[in-house]
Structure 1
Amino acid sequence: MIKFLENLVFRLRVVILATLACVTAFGLYFAFQLHMTAGFDKQLPIGHEYIQTFQQYRDQLFGSNRIIVVLEPKQGTIWNKDFFKVYKNLTDEIFFLPGVSRPTVTSLWTPNTRYREITEDGISAEDVISGKVTADTMTPKALTKIESNVIRGGFVGRLVSNDFTAAMVSAELQDYDPSTGQKLDYFDLADKLEKQIRQKYENDQYTVRIIGFAKSVGDIAAGANGVLVFFLIAFLLTALSVYLYSRSVLLTFATLFSSLTSVVWQFALLNLLGYGLDPLAILVPFLVFAIGVSHGVQQINLITAELSNGATSEEAARASFSGLLVPGTMALTTALVGFGTLYLIPVGMIRELAITASIGVALKIITNLVMLPLVVSYMTFDKDFVNRVARSREFRLKIMRWLGKVAEPRNAVVVLVVSFTLFGYAAWESRNRHVGALHAGAPELREDSRYNVDSRDVASKFALGLNQLTVVVETPPDACVDYETLKFLDQFSWHMENTPGVSLVLSLPFAVKSSSAGWNEGNLKWQAIPRNKDALAQAVASVPGQSAIMNQECTLLPHLIYLKDAKATTIATVVASVKAFRAAHNMKGVNIRLASGNMGVQAAVNEEISQSELPMMIWVYVVIIALVTLTYRDWRAVIACCLPLTFATFFGYWFMEVLQIGLTVATLPVMVLAVGIGVDYAFYIYNRIQFHLAEGRNITECFQMALLETGMATFFTAITLAIGVSTWAFSALKFQADMGLLLTFMFLVNMVMAITVLPALAVILDMIFPRRVPVRHRKSIMAH
């Protein structure tokens, strides 16, 4: 079958290459039209309990997609006329930004900011800044009054910082721009926040701090532009390495061109399918390129071996096509399934990433296994090149002969003892790995980035930050004037306020107690929920900001829980606390539901990643086991190919734990890719082991022969790719730096596993379970 395909493909090579050239030219046009896209809804896990709650009450509850802008004088406090004039202009500017839900814009200047005052007649409500006061006519007396209103109204820590050195403007965003009806362009909004807000209002007198999803995704996109520099560096390093290995400009060009061609096709297909490139998926094309280089080097390795043995270009290309079609297709199929399993995670952004990566890997079967040998078949190489290649290969073979000693029985036992010991320790240590962000602020950005500096400053000065978890409490009608219901929810509020990681809880029971004291001359003895229904109704009626903590029918009494940071551990602790209270306490007609708010969304994403990781890995291994079984019909091959992958995976988890890298949307694809790269190495090596077993050699000799044929290509590929991606560690984006470090480690550890643990397992298994039937040549599988 393989020979038939070889003859057919090479007989039609002119037609095939011409067709691929036309497809590439066509693809270039559409590839250059691909652009980055981002959307808040793409972060939402489809069907998750928390997201169902979020979607059901999306129009009634806010806090999931908010921007916060803080104006901070560099000297002194905010209590001066000049500050309030700038603050007023800033509020107006935010009001007219695209995508802003105008009724939700909140600052000291907006009419939805009111305070309650205890008087002889009870409680009166007024605007914090009277409608009679303007920024131009503000007097010292008016400023004193505003300061008093802010303090008495409880806005310290909410709209005004605890030390009076900053004031906040907050607003909710809609995923669609209400002024145009079009989907909100988050990159455009982030650009406007920077140019129309920060650049306009930040000067030698004031500092402007901006946080929120829109700003963070804009900063990530800005940092992603710098990714191109690292792509270029990695590409040049890869090109140099391939040249040093092949000693040929033509072979280097063919390898890189084939890998880049599939990336062009990938971009074109994404554009035609209506997808963009998410900033968090910006590294996927290079990962696909890296996979292509890995397979390309294997092709070049076999081609140069044939050339050094006197074969012509076409004969060498044919040998490469036939010898690597099966193991290459198996490896790429596994990588394809690996990326495809990411689709199991029901998060739009991750599913787009899965589609992006799967398309790229699928195209490698054409560009690397078919197009590359065909291109090489038209090249010519002189005798000097053949002599250089022969000398270079002899040097490499000396190294491989020394490494081949690992397949000697005594050494194999030592390798397995050491590797199993390390695996046991890695498995034990990796049990503590975290899912989600491990650091405060935006985990995709470095700790010293402007966004994270702003985030920490806002968190330190305000109790109400961006990290809001909204717990939805469904109640019977008129529950807000039912003492027993409010008493029950007061217990829940108190329970959550005393949960580690919570900075503030806003709820109707807490507000009612303060209002009740207000109706009784502020006496703290009356700071309790009134048992009398009329008194309770009076207290509820005067609660400030009612719309945030109750609906008109009193059937929805949400609890707004503000977290100290957005670390995965903090979110998990607070969510677990809600579930613990819900399990231990029950009241008929009251339903406590998780969750809305941006921390509710993040909790759902973390839980989906945690729950999907194991099934995803199981599917990848099922495919690997199936492919190895169908190809080699030998259970020993299954163990020899799969166990080193398992070792490498757990070593990767251990590495993440040591470097405090969480399992996130960015790092999860790396772990999947690691399995794919590891399979590449295993398939190429074991394919040659089986070939030589069929010639009657013992397992030790078979591995040593396989190592001579494919070992240096495996070793070289891993080193080259590791050097290339290691440069990402210097990226301005933390998630890219984390991916670079993790990929570097995984490329190397998979290579080590393939050339040490795989042969050690194969040797020991053959010693313990000798083969009763000799391995037979199966030309459809083990063609040279």
Structure 2
Amino acid sequence: MIKLLENILFGAKPLILGLFALITIYCAYYAFQLRMDAGFEKQLPTGHEYIETFQEYRDRLFGSNRVVIVLAQRDGTIWNEDFFKTYKEVTDELFYLPGVDRRTVTSLWTPNTRYLEITEEGINADDVIPGTVTVNNMTPEALERIENNVVRGNFLGRLVAEDSTAAMVVAELLEIDPQTQERLDYFDLADQLEDKIRGQYEDENYTVHIIGFAKLIGDIADGAQTVIIFFIVAFILTAISVHLYAQSWSLTFLALFCSLTSLIWQFGVLHILGFGLDPLAILVPFLVFAIGVSHGVQQINLITKEVTSGANGEEAARASFRLLFIPGSMALITDLVGFGTLILIPIGMIQELAITASIGVALKIITNLVMLPILASYLTFDERFVDRANRARDFRIRVMTHVGRLAEPRVAVVILFASVILFAVAFWQSLGRHVGDLHAGAPELREDARYNQDSRFVVDKFALGLNLLTVINETPSEACINHDVMNYLARFSWYMSNREGVAAVISLPTAAKASSAGWNEGNLKYQTLPRNKFALVQAVGPVPTSSGLLDVDCTTLPLQIFTDDSKATTIENVIAGVKTWREANPRDDVNIRLASGNVGVMAATNEEIETSELPMMLYVYATIILLVYLTYRDWRATICCCVPLTLATFLGYWFMEELEIGLKVATLPVMVLAVGLGVDYAFYIYNRLQFHLSEGLDITDSFKQSMFETGMAVVFTAITLAVGVSTWTFSPLKFQADMGLLLTFMFLTNMIMAITVLPAIAVVLDMVFPRRTPIKAPSGILAH
């Protein structure tokens, strides 16, 4: 079957290459139109319990997609005329930015910021900045009154810094821009936040601090543009390395050209399908490029071997296609399934990532396994190349002679024993890894990034920051004047406020207690929930529905829980606290639902990734097992290919735990890619191993011969790719640096497992379970 396909393809070379050229030109036209694309909705795990709650209440409760702007006085406090004039301008500027839900804009200047004052007549409610005060009549008396109102309204630590050196403006963002009726352009909004607010109002007197999803994704996009620089550096290093290996610039160019061609096809297809590149997934196409280089080196290795054996370019290219099409296809199909399983995670961004990666890997089958050998058939090789290749080959054989000794029985037993111990340790250590972020601030950025500096400033100056978990309490009608229900929620608020990781809890019962004391001359003895229904009505009355603590019918009484940070451990602990309370204190008339707020979204994402990871990995391994068994019809092959891969995976998890790299959207595809590349190495080695076994060699000699033929290509590919991606560790984006470290580790680890543990298992299995029948090479459609 493969021979027939070979004759068809090589018999129509001009026609096929012409078709490839047309496809490349067509895709290149669309590839240059591809743009980065981000959206808050893409972060949401559809179908998750928390997200269903969030979607149901998103028009009534806010806090999931906010932008927070803090104007800070460099010297002194904010109680001066010039600060309030600038603060008003910042508020107005944010009000008119695209995508801002103007109902939610909140600052000391907005009419939804009101305070309650205890007077002889009872409680008086008024705007913090009275309507009679404007920027044109900001007198010292007016400033003093505003300061008193801020203190009365308990806005210190909320809208005003606890030390009165800064003031905050907060607004919620809409996914659809009401002005354009199109999806909000987060990159444009981030640029406007930088230009129209920070650029305009930060000077020698004031600093501006901006946090929120829109600003974060904009900063990530700005940093992601540097990926081109690192790709160029990695490309140059790869080109030099491939040339040192191939001893031919034409073969080097061929391998890189075919991988770049598939990248152009990939970008073009993505744009045609209506996709963009998410900043958090921008490295994925370049990871797929690395896969292409890996397979290209295997092709170069076999072409060089054939040429040094006396074959011409046509014969060498045909041999490369014939011998590597099956193992290469198997490896790429496994990669394809690995990335494809990511689509099972119901998070829009991860599903787009899965589509992006799957398209790229699928195209590799054409560009690297078909286009490359066809193009190579046009190359000619002179005697000087043969001499250089022979010298390089002799050197590689000397190196691989030492590696081949790992398949000697005594050494194999030792390696296997050490591998078992290492696997046990790696498995135990991997249990400590976390799903989600492990550092405060935005872990996608460096600690000294401006966004993280702004985040720390807000946390230090304000009691309530960006990290909000809203727990929805569904109650009977008029529950806000039912003492039994209100007392239940008060105890719930107290329980959560004492939970580790919780900065503050705001709820209707806590507000009603303060109001009750106000109606009783501020006497702290009355800071409790009145049992009398009419007194409770009086206590609840001053709390407006705009506070988000109740609705008109009092059927929804949320708890607003502000957390210290958004670390995975903090979120997990707070969510566990809510669930513990819900299970230990059930009520038929109160339905406690998780969750809204940005912390609720993060919790849903973390839980979805954690839930989906194991089934996804099982699907990948099931595919590998099926492909290996169908190809080699030998249970030994399945064990030899999968066990080293499993060990490498758990070593990767251990590595993540030690470097405090959480399993999340950015790192999950790296682990899937690692599985795919690990299989690539195993397939290429075992493919030649089985061939030599079928020729009558024993397992030790078969492995040694396999290493002479393909082992050095595996080692070289791993080292080359590791050197290339290691440059990412210098990226201004922390998540790119983490991916670079993790990929470097996984490239090398999978290679080491393939050349040590794989032969050790094969040798020991043959010792324990001797083969009773001669080995046969695959036949039929799998023949190669």
TM-score by length of 2: 0.99
Tell me if 1:130 matches 2:130.
yes
For residues 56-115 of structure 1, what are the alpha-carbon distances to aligned partners after superposition, in whole Å with 9 as ceiling and x for unaligned? 111000000000000001100101111101001110100000000001000000000000
In 2: Cα distance, 1:380 partner to 1:714 partner: 25
- Alignment correspondent of 1:329: 329
Letter in 1 for 2:253: F
- Alignment correspondent of 2:774: 774
Question: Which segment is superposed worse, 169-178 or 6-15?
Answer: 6-15
Tell me if 1:436 matches 2:436.
yes
- Alignment correspondent of 1:698: 698
Q: Secondary structure at the match of 2:111?
A: coil
- Alignment correspondent of 1:382: 382
Q: CA deviation at 1:225?
A: 0.6
Q: Structure 1 pair 780/243, CA: closer, same or farther in 2 (3 Å)?
A: farther
Check whether the contact 1:2–1:779 (CA below 8 A) recurs between aligned residues: no
Check whether the contact 1:24–1:264 (CA below 8 A) recurs between aligned residues: yes
- Alignment correspondent of 1:487: 487
For residues 645-674 of structure 1, what are the alpha-carbon distances to aligned partners after superposition, in whole Å with 9 as ceiling and x for unaligned? 000000000100111100010000000000
In 2: Cα distance, 1:556 partner to 1:545 partner: 10
Q: CA deviation at 1:544?
A: 5.5
Letter in 1 for 2:271: N
Check whether the contact 1:631–1:781 (CA below 8 A) recurs between aligned residues: no
In 2: Cα distance, 1:139 partner to 1:176 partner: 41
- Alignment correspondent of 1:245: 245
Q: CA deviation at 1:547?
A: 3.6
Q: Secondary structure at the match of 2:663?
A: coil
In 2: Cα distance, 1:563 partner to 1:545 partner: 23
**How do 1:589-600 and structure 2 match up within 5 A?**
589-600=589-600
In 1: Cα distance, 2:21 partner to 2:381 partner: 24
For residues 442-473 of structure 1, what are the alpha-carbon distances to aligned partners after superposition, in whole Å with 9 as ceiling and x for unaligned? 11111110001100110111111100000001
Q: Secondary structure at the match of 2:168?
A: strand
- Alignment correspondent of 2:710: 710
Q: Structure 1 pair 517/544, CA: closer, same or farther in 2 (3 Å)?
A: farther
Q: Secondary structure at the match of 2:72?
A: strand
Q: Secondary structure at the match of 1:105?
A: strand
In 2: Cα distance, 1:136 partner to 1:237 partner: 63
- Alignment correspondent of 2:496: 496
For residues 473-505 of structure 1, what are the alpha-carbon distances to aligned partners after superposition, in whole Å with 9 as ceiling and x for unaligned? 100000001000000000100010000000011
Q: Secondary structure at the match of 2:106?
A: coil
Q: CA deviation at 1:322?
A: 0.4
Tell me if 1:646 matches 2:642.
no
**How do 1:304-703 and structure 2 match up within 5 A?**
304-543=304-543, 546-703=546-703
Question: Which segment is superposed worse, 721-730 or 132-141?
Answer: 132-141
Check whether the contact 2:254–2:372 (CA below 8 A) recurs between aligned residues: yes
Q: Secondary structure at the match of 1:322?
A: helix
- Alignment correspondent of 2:161: 161
Letter in 2 for 1:658: E
- Alignment correspondent of 1:149: 149
In 1: Cα distance, 2:122 partner to 2:586 partner: 36
For residues 532-553 of structure 1, what are the alpha-carbon distances to aligned partners after superposition, in whole Å with 9 as ceiling and x for unaligned? 1111011111125654100001
Q: CA deviation at 1:687?
A: 0.5
Q: Secondary structure at the match of 1:102?
A: strand
Q: CA deviation at 1:381?
A: 1.2
Check whether the contact 2:545–2:552 (CA below 8 A) recurs between aligned residues: no
**Which runs of no fewer than 5 residues in structure 2 stay unpaired?**
none
In 1: Cα distance, 2:242 partner to 2:783 partner: 26
- Alignment correspondent of 1:68: 68
- Alignment correspondent of 1:300: 300
Q: CA deviation at 1:778?
A: 3.0
Q: Secondary structure at the match of 1:101?
A: strand
Q: CA deviation at 1:734?
A: 0.4
In 2: Cα distance, 1:420 partner to 1:708 partner: 27
For residues 186-239 of structure 1, what are the alpha-carbon distances to aligned partners after superposition, in whole Å with 9 as ceiling and x for unaligned? 000000000000000001110000000000000000000111100110111111
For residues 622-656 of structure 1, what are the alpha-carbon distances to aligned partners after superposition, in whole Å with 9 as ceiling and x for unaligned? 00000001000000000000000000000000100
Query: What CA RMSD, in Å, does the superposition of the two structures yield over aligned residues?
Result: 0.8
In 2: Cα distance, 1:191 partner to 1:359 partner: 31
Check whether the contact 1:691–1:782 (CA below 8 A) recurs between aligned residues: no
Q: CA deviation at 1:782?
A: 7.4
Check whether the contact 2:401–2:708 (CA below 8 A) recurs between aligned residues: yes
**How do 1:54-133 and structure 2 match up within 5 A?**
54-133=54-133
Q: CA deviation at 1:777?
A: 3.0
Letter in 2 for 1:633: R
- Alignment correspondent of 1:719: 719
In 2: Cα distance, 1:711 partner to 1:358 partner: 27
In 2: Cα distance, 1:553 partner to 1:170 partner: 27
Q: Secondary structure at the match of 1:589?
A: coil
> Aligned residue pairs: how many?
784
Q: Secondary structure at the match of 1:104?
A: strand
Q: Secondary structure at the match of 1:210?
A: strand
Q: Structure 1 pair 619/569, CA: closer, same or farther in 2 (3 Å)?
A: same
Letter in 1 for 2:78: I
Q: CA deviation at 1:613?
A: 0.6
Check whether the contact 1:687–1:782 (CA below 8 A) recurs between aligned residues: no
Q: Secondary structure at the match of 1:39?
A: coil
Letter in 2 for 1:539: A
In 1: Cα distance, 2:555 partner to 2:179 partner: 32
For residues 722-777 of structure 1, what are the alpha-carbon distances to aligned partners after superposition, in whole Å with 9 as ceiling and x for unaligned? 00000000100000000000000000000000000000000000110011111123
**How do 1:25-40 and structure 2 match up within 5 A?**
25-40=25-40
In 1: Cα distance, 2:594 partner to 2:429 partner: 31
- Alignment correspondent of 2:730: 730
In 1: Cα distance, 2:484 partner to 2:779 partner: 79
- Alignment correspondent of 2:284: 284
In 1: Cα distance, 2:362 partner to 2:428 partner: 36
Q: CA deviation at 1:424?
A: 0.9
Check whether the contact 1:6–1:322 (CA below 8 A) recurs between aligned residues: yes
Q: CA deviation at 1:781?
A: 7.0
In 2: Cα distance, 1:633 partner to 1:189 partner: 57
Q: CA deviation at 1:779?
A: 4.7
Check whether the contact 1:326–1:781 (CA below 8 A) recurs between aligned residues: no
In 2: Cα distance, 1:276 partner to 1:546 partner: 37
In 2: Cα distance, 1:707 partner to 1:136 partner: 83
Q: Which stretches of structure 1, 4 residues or longer, exceed 4 Å deviation after superposition?
A: 779-784
Q: CA deviation at 1:586?
A: 1.3
Tell me if 1:229 matches 2:238.
no
Q: CA deviation at 1:783?
A: 5.6
Check whether the contact 1:434–1:568 (CA below 8 A) recurs between aligned residues: yes
Check whether the contact 1:114–1:544 (CA below 8 A) recurs between aligned residues: no
Question: Which segment is superposed worse, 420-429 or 324-333?
Answer: 420-429
In 1: Cα distance, 2:608 partner to 2:289 partner: 28
